[in-house]
Amino acid sequence: MTTHRFQPAVAVARQRGQSTVAFLALGVALALGLVLAAWIVASSLERIKLAGDKITVKGYAEERVLSDAGTWRAIVSVRAPDLPMAYRKLEEDSVRVVKYLESVAGTDTKNLQQGTVNTQTIFEFGPGGVQTGRVLGYELSRQFEFSSQNVAQIGSIATGAARLISEGVAINAMPPQYFFTDLNAVKVRLIGAATRDSLLRAQQFAANSGVTVGPLRSASQGVFQITSPNSTETADYGSYDTSTVEKLVKAVVTVEYAVTRQ
């Protein structure tokens, strides 16, 4: 009788044990399936990546240059009650400007350009800012522009131009501008240097990646930045600073290289 009482309990235990083993087997199978699926997906992605693999880098180069040309500009203006008087005054002041330039630049004043005379009528304004129609006088102005390959001379002219004010000349002198005339040759050198720099960068990136840099696929040239030394100024459309004699020309290229497995 005792044996018959324990037989159902043993059967139940046996069934529970079989179910646990089945669940464990199913769990292991699922885990192995997930691992295998992940490996297959990763392998496929790696093959796709390496099949058409590439590396895109930017190359940079810069070169310092000294300006070999400069320009000085100024505007002289006069006011007088009538036009003939204003014109005579403007002519007198124009002569003073020319003499000043001759004292600094000598015979180089052949490069001086005098602009046309601009005339503006000065009207009277009554209460409330309403123009009365009465003419108070005239303002005449003329622009002067002097260019030279002697950049030091341009600097001297700009520095000393204020002395004309002491002679009664109403002059508005602009800051001198300095240019480098052989930029095309510099640009060619910089493009080559920037391209070589891009290859070095690509090789450094690939060194620890198990790949080798292959042939160049494509390249595009960025805008040139011509700035004063130590300047961080940049612009999407490029920049050309004319305020300093010494300039820094910067070039950036974007290059795409093929890569292959080592």
Identify whether residues 175 and 228 lie together within a single domain: no
pLDDT reading at 145 higher than 90:
yes
Domain's final residue, options 153, 179, 205: 179
pLDDT reading at 172 higher than 60:
yes
Q: Which of 210, 214, 242, 208 is nearest to 228 (CA)?
A: 242
Identify whether residues 233 and 204 lie together within a single domain: yes
CB atoms within 10 A of CB 165: 11
pLDDT value at residue 113: 93
The residue written with tokens 């669940």 in the block is 23
Identify whether residues 102 and 138 lie together within a single domain: yes
CATH of the domain at 141: 3.30.70.2970
Of 233 and 166, which is predicted with more confidence?
166
Whole-number percent of the chain with pLDDT over 70: 79
pLDDT reading at 90 higher than 70:
yes
In angstroms, the CA 174 to CA 176 distance is 6
Identify whether residues 186 and 247 lie together within a single domain: yes
In angstroms, the CA 258 to CA 245 distance is 42
Mean pLDDT of 44-54: 45
pLDDT reading at 6 higher than 60:
no
CATH of the domain at 186: 3.30.110.170
204-245 tens-digit pLDDT:
888 877 788 988 889 999 989 999 998 887 788 789 999 999
pLDDT reading at 35 higher than 80:
no
pLDDT reading at 121 higher than 50:
yes
pLDDT reading at 2 higher than 50:
no
CB atoms within 10 A of CB 56: 13
Identify whether residues 6 and 96 lie together within a single domain: no
The DSSP-derived string for 199-218 is: HHHHHHHHHTTTEEEEEEEE
The band of 261, judged by pLDDT with boundaries at 50, 70 and 90, is confident
Domain count along the chain: 3
Structural domain of residue 99, as residue ranges? 69-179
The DSSP-derived string for the chain is: -HHHHHHHHHHHHHHHHHHHHHHHHHHHHHHHHHHHHHHHHHHHHHHHHHHT-EEEEEEEEEEEEE--EEEEEEEEEEEESSHHHHHHHHHHHHHHHHHHHHHHHGGGGGGEEE-PPEEEEEEEE-GGG-EEEEEEEEEEEEEEEEEES-HHHHHHHHHHGGGGGGGT--EEEPPPEEE-TTHHHHHHHHHHHHHHHHHHHHHHHHHTTTEEEEEEEEEEE---EEE-TT-----TT-EE--S-SEEEEEEEEEEEEEEEE-
Domain's final residue, options 129, 153, 179: 179
In angstroms, the CA 179 to CA 184 distance is 13
Q: In Å, how far from its chain's centre is CA 76?
A: 35
pLDDT reading at 5 higher than 80:
no
pLDDT value at residue 53: 81
Q: Which of 63, 62, 69, 61 is nearest to 245 (CA)?
A: 69
Q: How much is the pTM?
A: 0.73
Q: Mean pLDDT lowest for which of 18-22, 101-105, 254-258? A: 18-22
Mean pLDDT of 84-110: 91
Identify whether residues 128 and 81 lie together within a single domain: yes
For 94, 153, 171, 176, the CA distances from 115, given in Å and listed in that order, are 11, 21, 14, 18
Whole-number percent of the chain with pLDDT over 90: 59
Identify whether residues 59 and 42 lie together within a single domain: no
Identify whether residues 31 and 82 lie together within a single domain: no
